[in-house]
């Protein structure tokens, strides 16, 4: 007779059984207080895998006695969202609290899928709880994010993992048949990496290797042996995923090709999606190399396209070539700085009017009131340039793009000064 996995058997059913995230579910935790009041608002649970996001959502629904719907952003589309909305509306009775819709990996929902949730969240058709391992401020549309609180879940501490270990080995009906001896715990905790699911999987693997008696001795050597963890230095779904991609990005940015290729190898050996790495290279090329070597973006884009066509193991060579090229290129973040400065101006100044001479004038009325008047067509002038104002009047003279000290941008700066004279100064 087969049994559910240990992680499922040990899933807590109440907040009192829940281990970890005391800042959210502890005595004065915000989620515990909402549950105790019997009223919750929509929220997003952001944290690494295996820390209890799905479990917490189920517990909230259970303790509030609310209908609970689940969708996975990997397999669900707009049609599935609409079906859940219709079901929720059908279960809504006068003054009854709304059901809970839990969406796992909500960051994978497209813009249109997220848009389809907006109306129902605003109208209170259901209370949305989303789970994500990615920063929601980057992955979720602003209107939906503004209607949800974001709660950050942390990796479980060693003491919390030990609590789960002892609970599992002493209370689970299957594990109670074995005599566990925790002789050494360092490897068990290290390879669990703050992830309860990993901990339970390791325990099950240790049990499955017993061939003589019911005694399970846990030592560092035994854990490493069972997991065959010579290559388990990277986990594409765990916390090290973020640490290693961070080290990779910073090595390229820091112009160290040796370190960059090393971290690339860590990702490749760990089973990281090569398209994920290639996307990061495209971003790196624009953000950190930029105008110091515009060909870097072409190289990175070609790398991404080639990786889409060619799978592993050959795509590792393409990734290596692009990584080394970017790491050894001159660096500039002037484009990154420029768009950031421009966005800050927009937020501060609001929607400044477009100067009349730059406005489109498709009708006679628009022409009569001055739209397009005095606009100078650059190609009609010597050198395909004529001095005129392109910014709103209030921003006249504002320098947003500042060339940096590399050979390519020094050429750009010289050209801009030759064209704009005193108006364009490198401040």
Residue intervals in the chain for CATH 1.10.8? 158-231
| Spatial separation of the C-alpha atoms in residues 161 and 200, rounded to whole Å | 10
Return d(Cα 222, Cα 213) in angstroms, integer: 16
**Buried b / exposed e across 37-75, counting CB within 10 Å, b at 16+?**
eeebebbbbbbbbbbbbebbbbbbbebbebbbbbbebee
Range(s) for CATH 1.10.3710 in the chain? 348-423
DSSP one-letter string for 38-50: T----EEEE--TT
How sure is the predictor about 424, in pLDDT bands with cuts at 50, 70 and 90?
low
- CATH of 158-231 among 1.10.260, 1.10.10, 1.10.8, 1.10.700: 1.10.8
How would you classify residue 341: left for phi > 0, otherwise alpha for psi between -120 and 50, otherwise beta?
alpha
pLDDT digit string, tens, across residues 372-394: 888 888 898 888 888 888 888 88
75: Cβ contacts below 8 Å, ≥ 6 apart: none
Residue 329 has pLDDT above 80, yes or no: yes
Which CATH code, of 1.10.287, 1.10.510, 3.40.1800, 1.10.3710, is assigned to 348-423? 1.10.3710
Per the CB < 8 A criterion, the answer to whether 192 and 203 are in contact is: no
What is the mean predicted confidence (pLDDT) over 35-40?
87
Q: What is the CA radius of gyration of the chain?
A: 28
Question: What ranges in 110-238 are assigned the alpha helix state H?
Answer: 111-123, 136-139, 142-145, 158-171, 186-192, 196-208, 220-227
pLDDT digits (tens, 9 = 90+) for 95-116: 678 888 898 888 878 777 888 8
CATH of the structural domain 239-328, one choice from 3.30.1490.20, 1.20.272.10, 2.40.50.100, 1.20.1730.10: 1.20.272.10
| CA–CA distances in Å: residue 67 to residues 12, 33, 58 | 18, 20, 10
Please state, in angstroms and rounded to a whole number, the distance separating the CA atoms of residues 62 and 12. 11
How far is the CA of 121 from the CAs of 37, 90, 148, 176, 241, in angstroms? 20, 16, 9, 45, 32
CA 312 to chain centroid = 24
> To which H or E segment does residue 69 belong?
strand 68-72
Per the listing, tokens 């739209």 go with: 371
**Mean pLDDT to the nearest integer, 320-333:** 94
Question: Is pLDDT at 248 greater than 90 in this prediction?
Answer: yes
Tens digits of residue pLDDT in 214-243: 888 888 888 888 876 434 444 555 546 677
Cα angle value 384/386/391 (rounded, 5°): 120
pLDDT per residue as tens digits for the range 292-312: 999 999 999 999 999 988 877
DSSP characters over 130-154: EEESS-HHHHS-HHHHTTSEEEEPP
Angle between helices 239-253 and 274-284 (to 10 degrees): 40
Query: In whole numbers, what is the pLDDT of the chain averaged over residues?
Result: 84
Q: Which of 225, 236, 229, 141 shows the shortest CA–CA distance to 195?
A: 236
Closest to 164 in 3D by CA, of 127, 191, 128, 189: 189
* 20-152: CATH architecture: 3-Layer(aba) Sandwich (3.40)
Provide mean pLDDT across the span 404-419. Answer: 87
């Amino acid at each position: 007779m087969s049994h559910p996995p240990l992680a499922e058997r040990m899933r807590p059913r109440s907040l009192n059984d829940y281990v970890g995230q005391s800042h959210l579910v502890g005595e004065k935790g915000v989620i515990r207080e909402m549950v105790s009041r019997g009223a919750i608002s929509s929220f997003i649970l952001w944290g690494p895998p295996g820390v209890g996001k799905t479990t917490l959502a189920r517990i909230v629904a259970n303790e509030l006695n609310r209908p609970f719907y689940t969708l996975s952003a990997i397999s669900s589309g707009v049609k599935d969202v609409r079906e859940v909305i219709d079901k929720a509306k059908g279960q809504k009775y006068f003054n009854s609290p709304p059901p809970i819709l839990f969406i796992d990996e909500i960051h994978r929902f497209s813009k249109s899928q997220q848009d389809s949730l907006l109306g129902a969240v605003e109208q209170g058709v259901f209370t949305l709880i989303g789970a994500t391992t990615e920063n929601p401020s980057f992955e979720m549309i602003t209107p939906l994010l503004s209607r949800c609180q974001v709660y950050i879940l942390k990796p479980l501490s060693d003491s919390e993992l030990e609590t789960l270990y002892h609970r599992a080995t002493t209370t689970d009906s299957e594990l109670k048949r074995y005599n566990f001896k925790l002789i050494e715990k360092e490897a068990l905790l290290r390879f669990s990496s703050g992830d309860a699911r990993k901990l339970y999987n390791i325990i099950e693997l240790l049990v499955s290797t017993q061939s003589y008696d019911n005694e399970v001795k846990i030592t560092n050597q035994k854990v490493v042996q069972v997991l065959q963890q010579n290559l388990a230095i990277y986990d594409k779904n765990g916390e090290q995923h973020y640490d290693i991609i961070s080290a990779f990005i910073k090595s390229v940015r820091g112009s160290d090709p040796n370190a960059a290729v090393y971290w690339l190898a860590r990702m490749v050996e760990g089973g990281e999606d090569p398209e994920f790495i290639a996307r990061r290279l495209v971003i790196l090329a624009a953000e950190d190399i930029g105008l110091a070597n515009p060909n870097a973006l072409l190289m990175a884009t070609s790398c991404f396209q080639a990786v889409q066509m060619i799978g592993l193991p050959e795509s590792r060579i393409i990734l290596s070539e692009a990584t080394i090229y970017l790491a050894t290129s001159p660096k500039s973040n002037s484009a990154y700085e420029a768009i950031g400065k421009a966005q800050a101006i927009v937020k501060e100044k609001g929607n400044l009017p477009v100067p009349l001479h730059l406005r489109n004038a498709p009708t006679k009325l628009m022409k009569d009131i001055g739209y397009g008047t005095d606009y100078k067509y650059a190609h009609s002038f010597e050198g395909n340039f004529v001095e005129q104002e392109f910014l709103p009047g209030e921003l006249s003279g504002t320098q947003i793009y500042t060339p940096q000290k590399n050979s390519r941008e020094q050429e750009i700066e010289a050209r801009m000064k030759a064209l704009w004279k005193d108006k364009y100064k490198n401040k």
